[in-house]
Amino acid sequence: MAHLQAIIRFDTTNPPGNELPLAQYLAGVLTRDGIASEILEPRPHRAQLIARIRGNGKKRPVMLLAHMDVVPVEREKWSCDPFGGVVRDGYLYGRGAIDDKGMLSANLMALLLVKRRLVERGIVLDRDVVFVATSDEESGGADGMRWLVENHREQLDAEFAINEGGRTRIIEGGKRYLAIQTAEKISHQVSITARGPAGHAAIPLEGNAVFELGVALAKLREYREPVTLTSTTRQLFSELANVWPAPDVAKAMRGIVSADAAESASAAKVLSRIPVFNAVMRNGISPVELSGGVAGNVIPAEARAMLNVRTIPGHRIEDVCARIGAVVEDPAITVSIESHGKEAPGSDPDSAMFHALSGAARMLDSEMAVVPYLSTGGTDSAHLRRLGIDAYGILPFPMEQSDEERMHGHDERVPVKSLHFGVRMIYEAVRSVSIASSS
Ligand SMILES: [Zn+2]
| 190 C-alpha to ligand 1 centroid (Å) | 26
| 19 C-alpha to ligand 1 centroid (Å) | 14
Range of the domain at 407: 2-165+379-434
If asked whether residues 256 and 320 sit together in one domain, one would say: yes
Q: Which helix (H) or strand (E) is 234 found in, with range? A: helix 231-240
| 171 C-alpha to ligand 1 centroid (Å) | 22
Mean pLDDT over 189-210 rounds to: 97
Q: Please classify residue 84 by burial: count the beta carbons closer than 10 Å to its beta carbon, then call 0-12 exposed, 13-18 middle and 19+ buried.
A: middle
- pLDDT, residue 437, reads 59
Whether 179 is in a domain gets the answer no
| 222 C-alpha to ligand 1 centroid (Å) | 33
If asked whether residues 232 and 114 sit together in one domain, one would say: no
Residue 55 has pLDDT above 60, yes or no: yes
Residue 438 has pLDDT above 50, yes or no: no
Whether 34 is in a domain gets the answer yes
| 245 C-alpha to ligand 1 centroid (Å) | 29
CA-to-CA separations, 38 to 30, 145, 178, 260, in angstroms, rounded: 11, 15, 33, 56
| 364 C-alpha to ligand 1 centroid (Å) | 25
Angle at 385 between CA 382 and CA 274, to 5 degrees: 50
Mean pLDDT over 245-265 rounds to: 93
Q: Coil, strand or helix: which one is 281? A: helix
If asked whether residues 97 and 214 sit together in one domain, one would say: no
| 137 C-alpha to ligand 1 centroid (Å) | 7
Whether 386 is in a domain gets the answer yes
CA-to-CA separations, 293 to 212, 300, 301, 302, 331, in angstroms, rounded: 13, 5, 8, 7, 20
| 135 C-alpha to ligand 1 centroid (Å) | 11
Q: Which of 10-24, 236-250, 313-327 has the lowest mean pLDDT?
A: 236-250
CA-to-CA separations, 340 to 255, 308, 309, 383, in angstroms, rounded: 34, 11, 10, 15
| 50 C-alpha to ligand 1 centroid (Å) | 18
Q: Which of 129-138, 166-175, 245-254, 377-386 has the lowest mean pLDDT?
A: 166-175
| 138 C-alpha to ligand 1 centroid (Å) | 7
- pLDDT, residue 439, reads 41
Mean pLDDT over 265-283 rounds to: 94
Mean pLDDT over 12-35 rounds to: 98
The tally of domains found in the chain comes to 2
CATH of the domain at 209: 3.30.70.360
| 144 C-alpha to ligand 1 centroid (Å) | 12
**pLDDT of 76-109, one tens digit each?**
999 999 999 999 999 999 999 999 999 999 999 9
Mean pLDDT over 125-148 rounds to: 95
If asked whether residues 424 and 294 sit together in one domain, one would say: no
| 380 C-alpha to ligand 1 centroid (Å) | 9
Q: Please classify residue 378 by burial: count the beta carbons closer than 10 Å to its beta carbon, then call 0-12 exposed, 13-18 middle and 19+ buried.
A: middle
Q: Are 149 and 167 in contact (CB under 8 A)?
A: no
Whether 345 is in a domain gets the answer no
Q: Are 95 and 104 in contact (CB under 8 A)?
A: no
Confidence of residue 320 (pLDDT cuts 50, 70, 90): very high
| 192 C-alpha to ligand 1 centroid (Å) | 32
CA-to-CA separations, 70 to 73, 108, 131, 219, in angstroms, rounded: 9, 18, 19, 39
Whether 290 is in a domain gets the answer yes
| 255 C-alpha to ligand 1 centroid (Å) | 34
Residue 314 has pLDDT above 90, yes or no: no
| 83 C-alpha to ligand 1 centroid (Å) | 17
**Which of these three, 339, 370, 387, is where a domain ends?**
339
| 98 C-alpha to ligand 1 centroid (Å) | 8
| 96 C-alpha to ligand 1 centroid (Å) | 8
Whether 347 is in a domain gets the answer no
| 64 C-alpha to ligand 1 centroid (Å) | 14
**pLDDT of 420-433, one tens digit each?**
999 999 999 999 99
Whole-prediction pTM: 0.87
**pLDDT of 202-223, one tens digit each?**
999 999 999 999 999 999 999 9
Mean pLDDT over 278-284 rounds to: 95
| 67 C-alpha to ligand 1 centroid (Å) | 7
**Distance between CA atoms of 421 and 106, rounded to whole angstroms?**
9
Residue 396 has pLDDT above 80, yes or no: yes
| 99 C-alpha to ligand 1 centroid (Å) | 5
| 155 C-alpha to ligand 1 centroid (Å) | 21
Residue 353 has pLDDT above 60, yes or no: yes
Q: Are 61 and 128 in contact (CB under 8 A)?
A: yes
Whether 411 is in a domain gets the answer yes
Whether 353 is in a domain gets the answer no
Residue 393 has pLDDT above 60, yes or no: yes
Q: Are 343 and 186 in contact (CB under 8 A)?
A: yes
Measured torsion, CA atoms of residues 275, 98, 236, 177, in degrees rounded to the nearest 10: -120
